[in-house]
Amino acid sequence: DTAVSQTPKYLVTQMGNDKSIKCEQNLGHDTMYWYKQDSKKFLKIMFSYNNKELIINETVPNRFSPKSPDKAHLNLHINSLELGDSAVYFCASSQDPLSGRVGTQYFGPGTRLLVL
């Protein structure tokens, strides 16, 4: 039933580790996104994928690598985790914005990452 789902919900790990967050949407959307919400609740776009192709990459360190195996999934892999990576990461999806229409973005429940 969940439109946009993420796993895991919580992730606690040590500095220097590599971790992945998975996202799946069952809305039939063409475009998926990753956002980062910091401790002050500020939300910032990280990546946008349309039909498995990267269309936005907003000054994110290359330790972060999104992977889209198909248009319903967008995973986020993070290498060499740092303390500053601690945040809530949200996945979202929308209809194809490249068609000229602005689509409502539907957000997942978030993954709370804590780097110790």
Partner 1 sequence: QQQVKQSPQSLIVQKGGISIINCAYENTAFDYFPWYQQFPGKGPALLIAIRPDVSEKKEGRFTISFNKSAKQFSLHIMDSQPGDSATYFCAAVRGNAGNMLTFGGGTRLMVKP
Q: Which residues are at the interface with partner 1 (CB under 8 A)?
A: 4, 31, 33, 35, 40-45, 48, 50, 55-56, 58, 90, 92, 94, 97-98, 100, 102-110
The least CB distance from residue 85 to partner 1, in Å, is 19
* Tokens of residue 102, six digits: 């602005």
* Tokens of residue 93, six digits: 């999806």
**CA–CA separation, 69 vs 64, rounded Å?**
16
The least CB distance from residue 72 to partner 1, in Å, is 17
The least CB distance from residue 23 to partner 1, in Å, is 11
Question: Which residue's CB is nearer to partner 1, number 58 or number 82?
Answer: 58
Question: Which residue's CB is nearer to partner 1, number 15 or number 54?
Answer: 54
Question: Which residue's CB is nearer to partner 1, number 13 or number 57?
Answer: 57
DSSP 62-95: TTEEEEEEETTEEEEEE-S--GGG-EEEEEEEES
99 CB-near residues (< 8 Å, 6+ apart): none
Distance of CA 44 to the CA centre of its chain: 11
The least CB distance from residue 48 to partner 1, in Å, is 5
Question: Which residue's CB is nearer to partner 1, number 81 or number 90?
Answer: 90
